[in-house]
Amino acid sequence: MRKILCVLFCGIIFSCQTKETNTPESPLGWEVYETPVKASLRGLSPVTAEIAWASGSNGTWLRTIDGGLTWDHGVVGGLDTVDFRSIHAFDALKAVVVSAGQPAVIFKTEDGGLTWSLKHQEGEEAFLDGISFSSPERGYVFGDPVDGKWTILQTANQGDSWYPVLNLPDAIEGEAGFAASATSLISEGSRIWLGSGGMEANLHFSPDHGESWVKWNSPFVQGEPSKGIFSLTSLGNGEIFLVGGDYVAMDDTTNNAATFITERNEWVAPISRPKGYRSGVAYFPRFHWLVAVGPTGSDFSNDGGNSWKNFSEVGFHAVKLGHAEGAIWASGSEGRIARLKF
């Protein structure tokens, strides 16, 4: 019995030591891939460490199924003047893309990008900002307010059809969303969080698929069109981390990041902040890292967003965790796509 206990104890110690040893202290940087396009890529949707999709200016879509070695690409629906800033991929064959600006359209492919079919079009006043799926079937697209109400569409059939949520939340005059990384709206189960900017930087929250809403004003910089919340990510259990700032003052770190704890309706300010304006943030549960990106570089936190360190000066617009949660990808200007090294 004593020998068995000793073996079990040693095994536990070894297991703990192995886990600690296998957790890197920080990211090693980015593995940047050569892609066949020069578009600005703000839409990003990695599926695994091998499969990733991106979209952006000039109607561009991109896909790799071999970890970035080769890329398929083309123009969505022949719309080579449209900026598709939002994309959600279901797998290697199926993806939904959303435009920013006019025409405000949603397309879907089911054959790896060979063909795209129009699934929805909004009116002339619409500007669509982002996309988030809470399950393989249910997803949301949001856009700037029209007549004092946010634009929020939902689908329950993988993007084949779209319709407004039951109760559209109110917006004040001059409040808007940002399509810088298409991640200022996120959804989990029945919950939706929407971050805004402009005259006010608010966090809007629905616990029930958009049937009811509450709003909290944030500590983020606000009061001008360039300021506010640009990206959200979930750490689980209703804990949300948000980044943003002022895109015309990219080096300013004033009130550009915060944690919101939904269950307590509480904002928590970090001790240190990302190094300037950040347009995207993603949580990497494998190492309990947060990774934030912007045009001036990339930062990470290993303590839930309380403190931050800059690890790369390479600029990106968007950063996303793959559906399989094994890899972090980023996309940016000039067709730049990369995967986090660790």
pLDDT block averages, 10 residues each, the chain of length 342? 37 35 89 97 97 98 97 97 98 98 97 98 97 97 97 98 96 97 97 98 97 98 98 97 98 97 97 98 97 98 97 97 94 98 96
Q: What pLDDT does 23 receive? A: 86
Distance of alpha carbon 245 from alpha carbon 256, whole angstroms: 4
Distance of alpha carbon 77 from alpha carbon 339, whole angstroms: 28
Q: What pLDDT does 244 receive? A: 98
Distance of alpha carbon 337 from alpha carbon 35, whole angstroms: 7
Question: Which domains are present in the chain?
Answer: 30-341 (2.130.10.10)
Cα dihedral sign, 318-53-151-155? negative
Distance of alpha carbon 198 from alpha carbon 200, whole angstroms: 5
Q: Name the nearest CA neighbour of 68 among 46, 43, 98.
A: 46
Q: What pLDDT does 2 receive? A: 37
Q: Give the number of other CB atoms < 10 A from CB of residue 309.
A: 14
DSSP β-bridge partners for residue 133: 139
30 with 298: CB under 8 angstroms?
A: yes
∠ CA 128-220-224 to the nearest 5 degrees?
A: 65
